[in-house]
Structures are given as structure tokens and as C-alpha cells.
Amino acid sequence: MPELVTLTIDGQMVSVPKGTVIVEAARQIQNLIPVFCYHPKLAPVGMCRMCVVKVGTPKVDRATGKPELDANGNPAIAMMPRLQTGCTTPVSEGMVVITADEEVKHAQNGVLEALLTSHPLDCPVCDKGGECPLQNLTMGWGPGKTRFDYNDKVHFEKPIPLGDLIYLDRERCILCARCVRFQDEIAGDPVLGFDNRGRSWQIISKSDPVFDSKFSGNTTDICPVGALTSADFRFKARVWELQPIPTVCNHCPVGCNMTFDMRSNEIKRVMPRENDAVNEIWLCDRGRYAHHFVGSKQRLTTPLIRKNGTLQAATWDEAIELVSRQLDGIRSTAGGKAIGGLAGPSLPNEDLFAFQRFFRETLGSNNLDHRSGTALDLPLDDVGAQFGLTSGTDLLTLGKGTVVLVFGADPEEEAPVHLLRLRGIDTRGGTIITANGRPTKLDQWAKHKLRFRYGSEGALLAGLLKPLVDATPTGGNRAALRGFGELKTALSGITPASVAQSAGVAAETLTAVNELIAGAENLVIFYGRDALAAGPNVTGALANLLVMTRKAGAANSGLIGLIPGANGRGALDMGVRPDRGPGYAAVSQPGLSASQMFEAAQAGRLKALYIAGLDPVGADPATAAALKKVELVVVQELFLTETAKLADVVFPVLSVAEREGTFTNAERRVQRFRQARRSLPSQRPDWQILQSLANQLVAEPVLAAVSGAAERSRKQARREESKVRSRTEWNYASPAEILMDVAGSVAAYKNVSYATLQGADGAWGRQTNENYYFDGTSYENTGGLGTQIPAQVETSATATTLQPFKSGGRVEYADRPFTLVGAPFLYDDSALMNDANLLNNRRAKAQVALHPLDAERLGVQNGDHVTLASGRGTLTLPVYRTRLAAPGVVVVPLGVKGAPLTDIVEGAWTAVSIRRAEG
């Protein structure tokens, strides 16, 4: 419990933790002290002087040290001679604050009048109008009239672009520096500053490209005036016409809470919805500006059926009939095992659950996957569910005592808002350790950076585990750890020096990190694509770190796996995988994985492929051959993807904006999104298509059950028929009902329902009536804060079970001295980036990033072409010199047109040779 301090504000007593500033103390009792520069998420600066109040403290008798009393026996108060800024003055015991007498009002009037002396008062054409703290405060605290001559205003050229996304109107700027401070303190991209001084002070951005930050949109929110507006929303609507619909971002595993702000069925803008446990009040620019795929003209609007070799519009009845007939045929002739199903990791839980149910129950097939079946697929991640971040953990509260290990991950690109949250942990006194094969932005805030050589992750983890194993006393403790003996054996002979040797990490750094991990009060481990790609040995070893430090299942600790897609964890939880059903239940006869499906198709063993929300052909054109081999390809999609182009039947589906559903984020928080937009009658949600098919196909088992009826009475046959039918018929009226089934079959989702996800009345959200400075920042979360589901260690006795582990070095190829990695970039060419034209200039380019030293050695300049050759193939791309590649490591973006990594990669990392491409 923090020490409490009691003070009196305008006669009302309030007790707040020591160190609280007056403005915050007043918020507790709904006393609104007006502010401009102050923002609860930023360090106070006391610049704008709007929050001035009168402050007094109890007089103390110098001689006795006792409080002096006035004539009435009350403590005598010494009022300070000057007004104080409420946003910077910490409260003290017995303090008396007056927020609204004549003197204070006069000062506030002065500040407002002063601010308006350079303000253009162009509210009618200002995007901020209607949610503008300057308007609000002028109404509430302004003098009502100005004595300043309008002609004396300073004029600037009207809005100038700060990069592609943000416009700056310098006339409107009140110089509160909120945006600059956000970029410095929260985003860690110090790309905004001030030019000149005094009244000529103005915001500038001189980075290259201008305003180079993935978080720039947030500045338009926290700007308390209309100085910073977004290119996306400029002149699109008046804010009061907008209807904000709660949603969850579907672009990455963070799952930021946001709203689609709608007017006449169009998304006019995306705003963050406050959820301290997920995104606080922030969004990244992809989440905010890549919503245009929803309204894209390229969306599929009608079912398509291949006729005479071309895809042609068809009716739903026709398409459903066709697909069910064909599936039925294959099922009865070749069996369900001849059908494969792929459903993407950005589909909602409900659809993924329906998908696997359709396959397992209706078709009788375990050939299920949520991956694309290319060489870039990641192994399935189970430890993230077993040892996941303990439920109830709120990263916003972590700081001192918390150690965060970020292993093989680049949060900025894979889960941008996590970067802000990690930085927050650092700001609050926590310790960040990064372990990566190449530099990332997060390294800046890392206390230690373990820069390993790709392929030696196992060796590095051996070095991290070894001291923990050695420090475990023989006897009881060891005995309690299942798998201890094996682990100990696997680690024999490991020393800091041997690890330094094989992983390329300094022994001292390793030792320092060991000490930090051993001493951590809370241990959180993030892992991303590079770690996942390295395989279960590596992710399992990360889980072992938790087990060995007794943090498995402990409060404020656990794993956070950054699995690609908005619902990668959900796909695993729902069992869209060949080897496990919903809730990771073992299946008796595992089916084929995505890549095995393509092999089987090539070999003629697979007759049909059913693909929802995935584009394997786009990811690897080589898969087209497999698709051409099968009898039936069905695709459910938003767009006519490369895969859809090869389909026999294409079903147009609903986007996240047109339906309801839930996603499970990287921290295993299940969150609900709502329908914001009416769809076309000719588009349907994925689950509904599956339901129609399931019900068509039901006839088959029913008939099977009823066949041989000759010996039975017709009555008995009808009874049996209806029993089978009621067991197999699907009658979901909404995704909410599917989620009820999920709750019934996945233990961790036991308490998850649309009703529980709604519960907005948590500790979050704002005090009433606070829009005077929050206005335009973020909107109160009326859409629910979601439910963090428990990790398996919390409900089963697995907290002491170690994962199998073997330490190993890396194989070197003398003729291929470089390491190629495919790296995820936020702005890629995925379908969800369709029509996100404002982000075009920031998209990752088809080029190979080389460290300047390597470029020097190879004698290549930016733009020169080089050919990378692996054991599988070659890839020729232009060069880009950057310190974001480590020496010896070359980086090519994933999911970018013109950079077909699948031609060349051979695993988690690929040994390549590089030579200058001629011509």
C-alpha cells in the first residue's frame, strides 16, 4: 500500500498516494482543474500554466516543530505567495488547494486569452472541432471575449504535411509539446521537435522520411487542438456525426482496442479505445490507417464458380449446392482424409472453431492447419498456452522488479504496441534484456543485448539454463522437477565460455543476464518469429527458464508468444491444426499439416482443399501446382487472392467490420469486436458458410444411419434419423452461440462468453466528465475489456514440468558464409494492407538489407543488385545498407511482393553466398 496523504481541495478532503500531483488528486473527487500540457500518460512539464491554483500548507512552529493553530483551533495555513501549477505540484499532508477563486480565474482567463491570441479560430473547418480541449476549456474557463487585436495575430501557411500521414497547422498549435513528448517518452522516436523560440516556436520533423515513426497517429489524438490532424481523416466528417463502434484491431497479435467511427456505413476513422491491459490509449499507424481494405472496391461481392475454366458469378444456393455435392462425393469415395482444410490465423475464434468442427465432425478429417504450407511456416507453438503470461497480469503495472527477456523478436514490427508497453516497463524501473540475431529498435532500452549467431539459440539458452540447474539443490526440489535429470544431462559441459564461443555472446554479458533472471521478482518472456522459427527446442527452453526460476504460473510472469496474425493463439486454442483438437486435446489419428497437404495433393492423395482466409499461392507460387492437382478447391475470402484465382468455388466473406467475433491476443486475452458496417446481402461470415455446408452434408450420415431400415419399423427409423440429425445439425444463430460451444469444449474458455467479454466496469476507463482534456484522445471503453484466459500451468500441475531440451551448435557452410533471415515488417503487402495507400511509402521494399561493413566488403552500394544462393535456389534483389542488419546477417522482408523468399529459404535461417548480380 502506498503511503496516503490527505489534503483539502476546495473544502473537500481527499486522500491520495504520496507523490500524486494536485491535478490528479482533484480528479479523484471530480474536481476539474483545466490543463493543456498535462496528460496523465506523460511526465508533467508545467508549460502551459493553465492549471494554476492557490496552494497553502500548514504552518509549523519553528521552535517546537508543532503545527500552529489559528484562533479557532484549526491548523493555520500559510498560503504560497504565487499561484502554483497543479500539474507539477505534489500534494502534501494538510495541504489546502483553492482551484476557483477570483485570482485563479483571472489567471486562467489570461492563459486562455493568450493562447487564443495566436489561434486562427477556424473551428468550423477544423477536424478537431467537437472533441477539442481548447474549445472545451474556452467554454469552461475562458474570459468570453478577447482584448487582443485580430490583426496582430501571427499567420503561418495553412497546414503543411509532416510526412504522408500527419498535417501540421502551426496557427492552431498551442505549443504544449504533448506530441513531442509522446514521441520522445512513449514512442521512443524522437522525430518531432521545435524550431525557433518564443512566439516563433513551431513543430518540426526533420527525420528521413519525415515523421519517421510507426506511432505518429497517436499525436493527432493527444494534440489538444487541431494542430495535428491525420491525412486519413482530414475533412472526412464532423466528429459529432460519427458513431464509434467498438472493435479490436485485426492486424497483429497485440489486439489493440479501438473503434471504427462510422458515418453512413463508412469507416471514417479508427480511434483507440482505452484498455490499460492491452494498448492503454495507443494504436500503431497500421492499425489506425490500414482499415481501407474494408471498403475496398476490390472486395469480393458474390460467390464465384469456375465454369468453362473461368470464375463466374453464381448464387449462394448454387455454390453451396455445388461444394456440398462435391465434398460429399469425395467423402464417400475417398473418405474425409482426402480433404484438407486451411483456415488463417486472422479469422475469429468462432470461425476457426466452426472450421475445425466442420472438418472433424462433418467431413471426418484431421487435415487441418492455419499455416500456408510454405517453407516459411512456423512450428506450432504449445508452450505459449501452457506457460503463457499468468492471467491477471497487467503489463502497465510492471516496473521495478520485473525482468523481461525478449528472445528472437522484433516487437516494433511484429507487435508494435508491445514496444510501447515494454518501454513503459523500462521507464518504471523494470529491466529489458533482448536476445536477437540482429538489431531491433527495442535494443535501445535493453539493459543487456545478447546478440547470438543464428542457429546457436540452443547454445545460448543452455547458457541461460545452466546456472539455474546448478543452483537447484539436490533432494526435494530437484525431485519435484519432472525432467530435471534429462535437462541436467543436456547441459553437462556448458560453461559461460563455451556458450560465448558457440553463440558469440560475451561471457560477462551472459553472467550478468543470468544474475538478473535468477533475481527477478517477475519474469516475462517475449518470443517472436525468429524464436518460433528456431523450433520447439528453443521455445521449450524459454518455458524451462520459467520452471527453473519457479515463475511458471506465478503472478506477473510467463511467456508471450508473438504468433503472426491477429488470432494465431486462437487458431491453436481452437485446434485448427492436424495434431490436436480444441483446447490442445490429443487426437487419435493426426492429419496432415499444410505442407503435407500440398505434398499429398501433388502425389494425388488429396482430392479437395478448402481454404479460408489464407493465400498460400500468394505466399509461394509453387503451391499453385498442388492446387491444380486436386479435384476441388474452395476458397473463402475478402479478395480474389492468387489462391482464390485458382479455386473452383469462391465464397465472399465478411470483414471484421461487418460482423461480430472474438480474437485471442498474444497475452491470451479474448476480446470481442462488433459489427460496425452493413454488409452486402451477397457476402456472408465464414462460419455461416460452413454451417450451410455442414447442414447440407448432414444428409449423408443421416442416410447412413437410416439405411438398412428395412428390418426396422418406419417409426423407429424416423426416431433414429431425428436423433442423428439433432446431433449433427448446426443451428448457430450468431457467433455468440459458437462461443458457447467453445466454452464447452476448451477448458480455458470456460468462463468466456459475449456477456463476460462485455464487462466494461473494471478499474479502467476514465473518471466521469473528463473529456476536457481527454477529449479526442481516446474514448471510454464501452465495448468491454476482454477476458484473459488462464494458462495451462494455472489449472494443472505442470508448473514443475520441464520441456525436453538439447543444446546444439550451428552448422557452418564454408561456401555460404552469410545468414539469410526473412523478417516480418509491419508494413508488408498482405491483403489487410490493400488500399492502405497512405502507408505505401513506408511499405517494406523488395530488397536485401546488408550491414554497411558487409556491403563495403562486397563492394556494393545502395541499389546494386546481388544474388543470394542457398542450397535450394537463388534470389536476386537490390541492396539496402543498414545497421539494422548485423554483420554477416542479411535480411529480406517477408510477405512483400517481388521478394520470393520461399524460393530460397531452408529453415529458421538459411546459409547463403552473395555475389554481385551482373547487368
Partner 1 sequence: MLYDKHKAEIDAILAKYPSKRSALLPMLYIAQDEYGRLDRDSIGEVAEILDLPPTDVYEVAGFYTLFYNEEVGKIVLDVCDDVPCCFCGAEELVADLENRLGVKAGHTTNDKLFTLRRVKCIAACDQAPVLQANLEFHNKVTPDKVDTLLAELRSEIESGKPISISGRFAEH
Partner 2 sequence: MPKTELKEYIVLRNREIPNIRDLDVYVANGGYETARNALTTMTPQAIVDEVKKSGLRGRGGAGFPCGVKWGFVPKELNPKYLVVNADESEPGTFNNHEIIDLNPHQMIEGVVISAFAIGANTAYIYIRGEFAYGARLLEQVINEARERGFVGKNVFGSGFDIDIHVHRGAGAYICGEETALLESLEGKIGQPRLKPPFPAVAGLYAKPTVVNNVETLTNVPRIIAKGADWFRSFGTEKSPGTKAVSISGHVKNPGNYEIPLGITMREFIYDWAGGMRSDVPLKFIIPGGASSTWLTTEHLDTPLTWDDMAAAGTMLGSGAVVILDESVSVVKAALKIDEFFKHESCGKCTPCREGTHFLVKVWERIDEGHGRSGDIELLADVGTQMLGKCFCPLGDSAVSAVNSAIKFFRPEIEAEIAGGTH
Report the C-alpha gap between 354 and 712 in whole angstroms: 34
Q: In this structure, what C-alpha cell is assigned to residue 900?
A: 520470393
Between 164 and 854, name the residue whose CB sits nearer to ligand SF4: 164
User: Contacting partner 2 (CB under 8 A), which of 23, 25, 33, 83?
Assistant: 83
571, HSE (Cβ side, Cα atoms, 13 Å): 26
Between 250 and 798, name the residue whose CB sits nearer to ligand SF4: 250
Report the C-alpha gap between 142 and 307 in whole angstroms: 70
| CA neighbor of 838 nearest in space, from 830, 823, 827 | 827
Residue 35: contacted member of partner 2, ligand SF4, ligand FES, none (CB under 5 to 8 Å, by partner type):
ligand FES
Residue 147: contacted member of partner 2, ligand SF4, partner 1, none (CB under 5 to 8 Å, by partner type):
partner 2
User: Contacting ligand SF4 (CB under 6 A), which of 239, 283, 404, 676?
Assistant: 283
User: Contacting partner 2 (CB under 8 A), which of 2, 65, 73, 81?
Assistant: 81
User: Contacting ligand FES (CB under 6 A), which of 51, 204, 490, 505?
Assistant: 51
Q: In this structure, what C-alpha cell is assigned to residue 397?
A: 503495472
Which residues from 187-226 bind partner 2, rule CB under 8 A?
194, 196-201
Q: Quick check: helix, strand or coil at residue 182?
A: helix
Report the C-alpha gap between 346 and 250 in whole angstroms: 7
| CA neighbor of 843 nearest in space, from 853, 858, 828, 856 | 828
CB 451 within 8 A of CB 886: yes
Contact between 174 and partner 2 by CB under 8 A: the answer reads: yes
Which window, 135-143, 248-256, 522-530, 534-542, contacts ligand SF4 (CB under 6 A)?
248-256
Between 44 and 735, name the residue whose CB sits nearer to ligand FES: 44
User: Contacting partner 2 (CB under 8 A), which of 40, 49, 483, 512?
Assistant: 49
DSSP state of 379: P
Which residues from 198-217 bind partner 1, rule CB under 8 A?
204-208
Residue 256: contacted member of partner 1, partner 2, ligand SF4, none (CB under 5 to 8 Å, by partner type):
ligand SF4
Which H/E stretch holds residue 534? helix 529-534
DSSP state of 586: B
Give the position of cell 485485426: 250
What would the x/- binding string for ligand FES be over residues 85 to 104, using CB under 6 A?
x-x-----------------
CB 408 within 8 A of CB 854: no
Which window, 44-52, 594-602, 804-812, 822-830, contacts ligand FES (CB under 6 A)?
44-52
CB 412 within 8 A of CB 441: yes
User: Contacting partner 1 (CB under 8 A), which of 37, 126, 177, 191?
Assistant: 191
* Length, in residues, of the chain: 919
Which residues from 699-758 bind ligand FES, rule CB under 6 A?
none
Which window, 35-43, 558-566, 791-799, 811-819, contacts ligand FES (CB under 6 A)?
35-43
Smallest distance from the beta carbon of 587 to partner 2, in angstroms?
60
Which window, 192-200, 287-295, 474-482, 797-805, contacts partner 1 (CB under 8 A)?
192-200
CB 402 within 8 A of CB 522: yes
Smallest distance from the beta carbon of 207 to partner 1, in angstroms?
6
What would the x/- binding string for ligand SF4 be over residues 816 to 855, using CB under 6 A?
----------------------------------------
Contact between 252 and ligand SF4 by CB under 6 A: the answer reads: yes
Which residues from 416-445 bind ligand SF4, rule CB under 6 A?
416-417
Cβ contacts of residue 839 below 8 Å, gap of 6+? 164, 165, 285, 286, 289, 290, 827, 833
Residue 249: contacted member of partner 1, ligand FES, ligand SF4, none (CB under 5 to 8 Å, by partner type):
ligand SF4
Residue 38: contacted member of partner 2, ligand SF4, ligand FES, none (CB under 5 to 8 Å, by partner type):
ligand FES
Smallest distance from the beta carbon of 220 to ligand SF4, in angstroms?
14
Bridge partners, 765 (sequence order):
none
What would the x/- binding string for ligand SF4 be over residues 253 to 282, using CB under 6 A?
-xxx----------------------x---
CB 672 within 8 A of CB 248: yes
Contact between 193 and partner 1 by CB under 8 A: the answer reads: yes
User: Contacting partner 1 (CB under 8 A), which of 192, 531, 653, 666?
Assistant: 192
What would the x/- binding string for partner 1 be over residues 150 to 189, using CB under 8 A?
----------------------------------------
Smallest distance from the beta carbon of 44 to ligand FES, in angstroms?
7
Cβ count within 10 A of residue 751: 11
Cα–Cα distances (Å) from 310 to 277, 649, 685, in that order, read 49, 10, 24
Q: Quick check: helix, strand or coil at residue 659?
A: coil
Q: Quick check: helix, strand or coil at residue 714?
A: helix
Cβ contacts of residue 235 below 8 Å, gap of 6+? 125, 127
DSSP state of 844: P
Q: How far apart are the first and last CA of the chain?
A: 70
Smallest distance from the beta carbon of 143 to partner 2, in angstroms?
10
Report the C-alpha gap between 227 and 225 in whole angstroms: 6
Cα–Cα distances (Å) from 288 to 127, 218, 265, 384, in that order, read 16, 9, 18, 28
Bridge partners, 893 (sequence order):
823
Which H/E stretch holds residue 821? strand 818-823
Between 50 and 354, name the residue whose CB sits nearer to ligand FES: 50
Taking phi first (over 0 means left), then psi (-120 to 50 degrees means alpha), and beta for anything else, what does residue 199 get? alpha
Residue count, binding to partner 2 (CB under 8 A): 36
Between 209 and 519, name the residue whose CB sits nearer to partner 1: 209
135, HSE (Cβ side, Cα atoms, 13 Å): 17
Ranges assigned E (strand) in 614-653 = 632-637, 649-652
Contact between 251 and ligand SF4 by CB under 6 A: the answer reads: yes
Q: Quick check: helix, strand or coil at residue 163?
A: coil
Contact between 37 and ligand FES by CB under 6 A: the answer reads: yes
Between 16 and 137, name the residue whose CB sits nearer to ligand FES: 137
Cβ contacts of residue 121 below 8 Å, gap of 6+? none
The CA R_g of the chain, rounded to the nearest whole Å, is 30
Which window, 191-199, 257-265, 586-594, 611-619, contacts partner 1 (CB under 8 A)?
191-199
Taking phi first (over 0 means left), then psi (-120 to 50 degrees means alpha), and beta for anything else, what does residue 18 get? beta
CB 582 within 8 A of CB 353: yes
Between 106 and 915, name the residue whose CB sits nearer to partner 2: 106
Residue 284: contacted member of ligand SF4, partner 2, ligand FES, none (CB under 5 to 8 Å, by partner type):
ligand SF4
Binding residues (CB under 6 A) for ligand SF4: these are 249, 251-252, 254-256, 279, 283-284, 286-287, 415-417
Binding residues (CB under 8 A) for partner 2: these are 44-50, 52, 81-83, 88, 106-107, 109-111, 113-115, 117-118, 147-149, 152, 154, 174-175, 194, 196-201
Binding residues (CB under 8 A) for partner 1: these are 190-197, 204-208
Binding residues (CB under 6 A) for ligand FES: these are 35-38, 46-51, 85, 87
